[in-house]
A and B are shown apart, each in its own frame.
Chain A
Amino acid sequence: DGGITQSPKYLFRKEGQNVTLSCEQNLNHDAMYWYRQDPGQGLRLIYYSQIVNDFQKGDIAEGYSVSREKKESFPLTVTSAQKNPTAFYLCASSPRTGKQGEQYFGPGTRLTVT
């Protein structure tokens, strides 16, 4: 089945540790995205990538880093510089860039940092 997978579903880390969230898609989509969602809030864009080896900062990129070495993979690293890392993280992809078209979302990773 085609889709987006994120792992793990739940992740626990100690404060001060970096953590990497996985996102893989087999939809052959060019564009991939990372969003953050806090309880009761909407989504905020962290990073996005339109093609391999290229990515751009979204609205809240501070404290995060990404890589896009392969078309199907777009891992997100939450660094110790991120002040409030506990959140629900969502990865998405889309088949085209531009003004229209749907984004396909993964099931999300819930990160808790204590």
Chain B
Amino acid sequence: DAKTTQPNSMESNEEEPVHLPCNHSTISGTDYIHWYRQLPSQGPEYVIHGLTSNVNNRMASLAIAEDRKSSTLILHRATLRDAAVYYCNANFGYEKLTFGTGTRLTIIP
């Protein structure tokens, strides 16, 4: 299983872009990179996933390094509703979705 490393916490000003990093140096060639986020006392919410190419959706963008050993979740314009714990997962399979402690993102008004 690929181990992921994320900063414990980050802060960003409202309406500014946020770049959340994740290292997954032991990722295998077929493992997808998934990002989820969790608000307090709620279940996690899917954000985005990718394999090799950068990905965009309505919530965020995912930039994947060429060697796939790291990735960055990009929130283009942070709002107060984006304050959450963000989890990066790089060993996803139907039986292997496990999260570490993630990055707690604080948005400053």
Q: Which A positions have Cβ atoms within 8 angstroms of B?
A: 4, 31, 33, 40-45, 48, 50, 56, 58-59, 88, 90, 92, 94, 96-108, 110
Residue of B with least CB distance to A90? B43
A42-B87, A42-B101 known; A98-B94 Cβ under 8 A: yes
A31 and chain B: residue at smallest CB distance: B94
Tally of chain B residues near chain A (CB < 8 A): 24
Q: Which of B15-23, B45-53, B65-73 contacts A (4 or more CB under 8 A)?
A: B45-53
**What residues of chain B lie closer than 8 Å to A110, measured between beta carbons?**
41
Q: A106-B43, A108-B42 are in contact. Are A43 and B98 (CB under 8 A)?
A: yes
Q: Nearest CB to that of A50 among chain B residues?
A: B94
Contact for A44 among B43, B46, B98, CB less than 8 A? B98
Distance in angstroms from A41 CB to nearest chain B CB is 6
**B residues at A contact (CB < 8 Å):** 30-32, 34, 41-46, 49, 51, 87, 92-102
The interface residues of chain A lying within 8 Å CB-to-CB of B31 are 99
Which of the residues A45, A88, A106 comes within 8 Å of B98, measured between beta carbons? A45
Contact B32 A100, beta carbon cutoff 8 Å = yes
Q: A41-B101, A100-B51, A102-B49 are in contact. Are A56 and B43 (CB under 8 A)?
A: no
Q: How far is the CA of A100 from the CA of B100 in the complex (A)?
A: 19
The 9 closest A-B CB pairs, nearest first, are A105-B43, A42-B99, A102-B46, A97-B94, A100-B32, A43-B99, A42-B100, A90-B43, A105-B44
Q: Which residue of B lies closest to A4 (CB)?
A: B43
- CA A41 to CA B87, docked complex, whole Å: 11
Give the distance in Å from the alpha carbon of A33 to the alpha carbon of B49 in the complex.
19
Contact B43 A92 (CB under 8 A): yes
Report the minimal beta-carbon distance from A8 to chain B, rounded to whole angstroms: 14
Within the complex, what minimum Cβ distance (angstroms) separates A36 from chain B?
A: 11
Other-chain contact of B43, A59, A102, A107 (Cβ < 8 Å): A107
Tell which of A41, A43, A99 touches B93, judged by Cβ atoms closer than 8 Å: A99
Contact partner of A100 among B45, B92, B101, CB < 8 A?
B92
- How far, in angstroms, from A102 to B97 measured CA to CA in the complex? 10
